[in-house]
């Protein structure tokens, strides 16, 4: 019995499609269009960096258990790292979001990039909210007893029971981060696949004019 | 039709490969630098400002610090006038209770999935576990043997008397036909002060406990929790739950959600939660679907902020007219 050859295997076809959609030079290019020249572009990667710190500090908190930070100075410091990385994550993400809005970054078949980013933003709010619920302190008590009214008022409070510590802990450390992780990876891959949105062009100009003396690419690298 | 054709032409133009100039851009270096900057900022902020950790309030704390409020709440659980007793779904089946979105009783549609009988769960069942107290046993027997109407009359009369007593002090309530209710609520206060009630309300028949629905509902039915929250600027009309104890930014990203609760008609509506949630769902959907909403998707072109973002590019390229 001979082994199935090359491209007949579904795994090979899947791999070929993945490489075709995101060739390595497009996934991690060493150059960007010349218009990518503003501080606003930094806030996307700052958001990703803050998210990595959020996940790492959260993982350390998870290693020691939910009560650790109440009684240990080290635990309290790690909790502070977790809190401030979340604050920075949202700060940079909101600037990134506004920046992309002002650029109308959904232009040129990039709508799904915007949609995944917007859903990730809303998912981040839900994830952070459950974090406040599982601090097991006064803030958790007050926020949960207040928030239950909103969720109950639209009939979902029994499934998303903010008073159920166990459920909220699992939502916060497993369910929501998993969904958020998928959304963020999807969003970043779409950014790489579709490229960075070009500036608004004058409609009377047929094509974007190359800058004087700028090198002309021989192959398509971004924006395809 | 012309607008649609123009939109399609724009989409094709912006999706086309960029044929202008390029610049070197090391994405890995950018990420490493960003990670370093964010790490420094995080550590600096954590060292400078730490994080809040205001100790949770136990039922024992409440019963010790505000015994009168505790007893008033216990009576309200018995006579069915507490916040939880009158809440409706998902805690109790009450067709007249619960918020509506216009004519639609969304809260009721969720069903009673966390049933709570406040008199039984918060007062009578915990007291039933206490042994060796003849007065309590007698009071429980008398209460359980009485008709529902009689139980209600006793609890209501005692609740009214407490409302009129100075500081709602049970010790200053005049004599009346309260049946065994004063003994029951007094014994519940003793149980709470000993710390026993915290465990009793948490217990759901198993060894491991992770669901705090009942103790939190009971705690929130009293005034003590809200008094502590208001002292920490956390009241609903103080931008509520987006804040946290101490001087910390809290969940600042919830500002829009919290904002609606501060202004009419939401601030004075009995259905404020349902209205605010519905509004936020619509606004969230608009945010997600911006690329597909004519007018809104063209707004950034007219705002002109892109001229600042791409000012280097527009030095050599003609910007579009607004």
B210 close to B16: Cβ distance less than 8 angstroms: no
> For the domain that residue A115 is a member of, what is the CATH number?
1.20.810.10
- Is A31 contained in some domain? no
Non-local CB neighbours of B154 within 8 Å, separated by 6+ positions: B143, B146, B177, B178, B179, B180, B181
Chain A residues with beta carbon closer than 8 angstroms to that of B300 = 101-104
Are residue A147 and residue A81 in the same domain, yes or no? no
Q: Residues B76-89: what's their mean pLDDT? A: 95
Predicted pLDDT of residue B234: 87
DSSP, collapsed to helix, strand or coil, labels residue A164 as: coil
- Which element (helix H / strand E) includes B22? strand B22-24
Predicted pLDDT of residue B242: 81
Q: Residues A88-107: what's their mean pLDDT? A: 97
Q: Is the pLDDT of residue A221 over 80?
A: no
Predicted pLDDT of residue A5: 55
Q: Is the pLDDT of residue B170 over 50?
A: yes
Express as a percent the part of chain B with pLDDT over 90: 75
Q: Residues A77-89: what's their mean pLDDT? A: 97
Report A:196-215 residues touching B (Cβ under 8 A).
Answer: 197-203, 205, 207-212, 214-215
Which of B24, B30, B41 faces A31 most closely, judged by CB atoms?
B24
> Is the Cβ pair A46, B54 closer than 8 Å?
no
Query: In angstroms, how far is CA A92 from the centroid of its own chain?
Result: 12
Q: Is the pLDDT of residue A216 over 90?
A: no
Q: Is the pLDDT of residue A2 over 60?
A: no
Which of B51, B274, B297 faces A106 most closely, judged by CB atoms?
B297
Q: Is the pLDDT of residue A1 over 70?
A: no
Report B:209-238 residues touching A (Cβ under 8 A).
Answer: 210-213, 216-217, 219-220, 225, 228-229, 232, 234, 236
B215-244 exposure pattern, b = at least 16 Cβ within 10 A, e = fewer: bbbbbbbbbbbbebbeebebbbeebbbbbb
Give pTM, 2 decimals: 0.90
Closest residue of chain A to B315, computed from CA coordinates? A211
B108 close to B59: Cβ distance less than 8 angstroms: no
Closest residue of chain B to A205, computed from CA coordinates? B318
> Is the Cβ pair B21, A83 closer than 8 Å?
no
Are residue A141 and residue A180 in the same domain, yes or no? yes
A118 close to B287: Cβ distance less than 8 angstroms: yes
- B254 closest CA partner among A114, A52, A122, A57: A122
Predicted pLDDT of residue A206: 45
The count of domains in chain A is 2
- A177 closest CA partner among A84, A45, A51: A51
d(CA A116, CA B251): 22
What is the token pair recorded at A199?
């500036």
Are residue A43 and residue A122 in the same domain, yes or no? no
Tens digit of pLDDT for each residue in B88-119? 999 999 888 989 998 999 999 989 999 999 99
Q: Phi and psi dihedrals of A124, rounded to 5?
A: -65, -40
- For the ranges A33-37, A218-222, B119-123, B252-256, the maximum mean pLDDT occurs at B119-123
d(CA B143, CA B181): 8
Report B:92-121 residues touching A (Cβ under 8 A).
Answer: 98-99, 101, 106-111, 113-114
d(CA B293, CA A120): 20
Predicted pLDDT of residue A115: 98
d(CA B52, CA B202): 26
* Size of chain A, expressed as the number of residues it contains: 224
Q: Residues B253-277: what's their mean pLDDT? A: 92
Q: Is the pLDDT of residue B80 over 70?
A: yes
A208 close to B310: Cβ distance less than 8 angstroms: no
Q: Is the pLDDT of residue A190 over 80?
A: yes
Distances (CA, A) of A135 to B92, B231, B319: 28, 20, 51
Distance from CA of A13 to the nearest CA of B (A): 26
d(CA B169, CA B166): 6
Enumerate the domain spans of chain B.
59-231
Predicted pLDDT of residue A6: 61
Predicted pLDDT of residue B243: 82
Residue B322 banded pLDDT, cuts 50, 70, 90 = low
- Is A30 contained in some domain? no
Q: Is the pLDDT of residue A210 over 60?
A: no
Owning domain of residue A50: 37-88
What is the token pair recorded at A143?
């926020």
Given CB atoms, is A63 within the 8 Å cutoff of chain B? Answer: no
Are residue A82 and residue A122 in the same domain, yes or no? no
d(CA B316, CA A199): 12
- Is A20 contained in some domain? no
Q: Phi and psi dihedrals of A159, rounded to 5?
A: -90, -30
d(CA B254, CA A125): 8
Interface size A-B, in CB pairs within 8 Å, comes to 334
Tokens 């069915």 sit on residue: B80
Tens digit of pLDDT for each residue in A142-187? 999 999 999 999 999 889 999 999 999 999 999 999 999 999 999 9
Omega of the bond leading into B309 within 30 degrees of 0 (cis)? no
> Is the Cβ pair B225, A34 closer than 8 Å?
no
Given CB atoms, is A46 within the 8 Å cutoff of chain B? Answer: yes
> Is the Cβ pair B54, A137 closer than 8 Å?
yes
Q: Residues A95-103: what's their mean pLDDT? A: 97
Tens digit of pLDDT for each residue in B215-249? 999 999 999 999 999 998 888 777 776 888 888 88
Chain A residues with beta carbon closer than 8 angstroms to that of B34 = 42, 45-46, 48-49
Residue B7 banded pLDDT, cuts 50, 70, 90 = confident
Q: Residues B154-175: what's their mean pLDDT? A: 95
Chain A residues with beta carbon closer than 8 angstroms to that of B18 = 33, 195, 198, 208, 217, 222-223
Tens digit of pLDDT for each residue in B267-314? 899 999 999 999 999 999 999 999 999 999 999 999 999 999 999 999
Radius of gyration of chain A (CA): 22
What is the token pair recorded at B58?
């136990």
Computed over every residue of chain A, the mean pLDDT equals: 88
B224 close to B57: Cβ distance less than 8 angstroms: yes
d(CA B79, CA B235): 27
Q: Residues B45-60: what's their mean pLDDT? A: 96
Chain B residues with beta carbon closer than 8 angstroms to that of A132 = 244, 251
Given CB atoms, is A35 within the 8 Å cutoff of chain B? Answer: yes
Predicted pLDDT of residue A218: 36
What is the token pair recorded at A183?
């959304």
Non-local CB neighbours of A171 within 8 Å, separated by 6+ positions: A130, A160
Are residue A111 and residue A189 in the same domain, yes or no? yes
Residue B74 banded pLDDT, cuts 50, 70, 90 = very high
Q: What is the DSSP string of A35-56?
A: T--SGGGHHHHHHHHHHHHHHH
Distance from CA of B124 to the nearest CA of A (A): 22
Are residue A135 and residue A191 in the same domain, yes or no? yes
B159 close to B81: Cβ distance less than 8 angstroms: yes
Q: Residues A185-201: what's their mean pLDDT? A: 94
Express as a percent the part of chain A with pLDDT over 90: 74
Are residue A119 and residue A83 in the same domain, yes or no? no
Predicted pLDDT of residue B129: 92
DSSP, collapsed to helix, strand or coil, labels residue A31 as: strand
């Amino acid at each position: 019995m001979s082994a199935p050859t090359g491209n007949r295997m579904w795994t090979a076809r899947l791999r070929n499609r993945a490489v075709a959609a995101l060739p390595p030079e497009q996934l991690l290019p060493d150059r960007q269009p010349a218009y990518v020249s503003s501080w606003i572009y930094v806030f996307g990667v700052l958001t990703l960096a803050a998210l990595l710190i959020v996940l790492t500090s959260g993982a350390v908190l998870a290693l020691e258990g939910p009560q650790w930070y109440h009684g240990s100075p080290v635990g309290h410091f790690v909790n502070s790292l977790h809190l401030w990385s979340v604050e920075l994550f949202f700060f940079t993400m909101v600037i990134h979001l506004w920046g992309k809005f002002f650029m109308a970054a959904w232009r040129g078949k990039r709508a799904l990039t915007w949609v995944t980013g917007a859903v990730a933003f809303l998912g981040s709010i839900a994830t952070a909210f459950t974090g406040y619920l599982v601090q097991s302190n006064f803030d958790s008590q007050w926020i949960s007893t207040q928030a239950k009214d909103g969720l109950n008022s639209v009939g979902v409070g029994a499934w998303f029971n903010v008073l159920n510590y166990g459920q909220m802990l699992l939502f916060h450390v497993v369910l929501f981060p998993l969904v958020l992780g998928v959304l963020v990876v999807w969003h970043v891959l779409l950014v790489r696949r579709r490229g960075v949105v070009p500036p608004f062009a004058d409609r009377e100009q047929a094509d974007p004019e190359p800058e004087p003396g700028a090198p002309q690419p021989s192959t398509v690298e971004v924006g395809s | 039709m012309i607008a649609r054709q123009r939109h399609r032409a724009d989409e094709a133009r912006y999706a086309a490969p960029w044929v202008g100039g390029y610049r070197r851009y090391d994405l890995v270096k950018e990420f490493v630098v960003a990670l370093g900057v964010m790490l420094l900022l995080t550590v600096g902020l954590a060292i400078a400002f730490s994080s809040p950790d205001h100790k949770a309030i136990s039922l024992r704390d409440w019963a010790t610090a505000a015994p009168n409020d505790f007893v008033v709440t216990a009576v309200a659980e018995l006579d069915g006038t507490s916040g939880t007793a009158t809440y409706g779904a998902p805690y109790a089946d009450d067709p007249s209770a619960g918020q509506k979105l216009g004519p639609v009783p969304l809260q009721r549609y969720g069903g009673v999935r966390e049933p709570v009988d406040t008199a039984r769960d918060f007062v009578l069942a915990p007291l039933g576990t206490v042994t060796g107290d003849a007065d309590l046993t007698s009071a429980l027997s008398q209460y359980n043997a009485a008709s529902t109407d009689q139980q209600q009359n006793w609890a209501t009369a005692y609740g009214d008397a407490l409302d009129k007593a100075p500081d709602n002090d049970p010790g200053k309530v005049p004599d009346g036909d309260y049946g065994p209710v004063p003994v029951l609520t007094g014994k519940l206060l003793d149980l709470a002060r000993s710390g026993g009630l915290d465990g009793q309300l948490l217990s759901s028949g198993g060894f491991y406990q992770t669901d705090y629905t009942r103790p939190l509902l009971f705690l929130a039915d009293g005034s003590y929790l809200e008094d502590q929250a208001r002292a920490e600027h956390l009241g609903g009309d103080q931008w509520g739950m987006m804040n946290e104890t101490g001087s910390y930014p809290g969940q600042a990203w919830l500002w829009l959600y919290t904002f609606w609760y501060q202004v009419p008609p939401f601030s004075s509506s009995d259905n404020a939660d349902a209205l605010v949630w519905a509004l936020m769902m619509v606004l969230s959907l608009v945010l997600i679907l911006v690329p597909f909403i004519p007018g809104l998707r063209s707004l950034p072109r007219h705002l002109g902020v892109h001229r600042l973002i791409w000012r280097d590019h527009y030095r050599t390229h003609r910007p579009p007219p607004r």
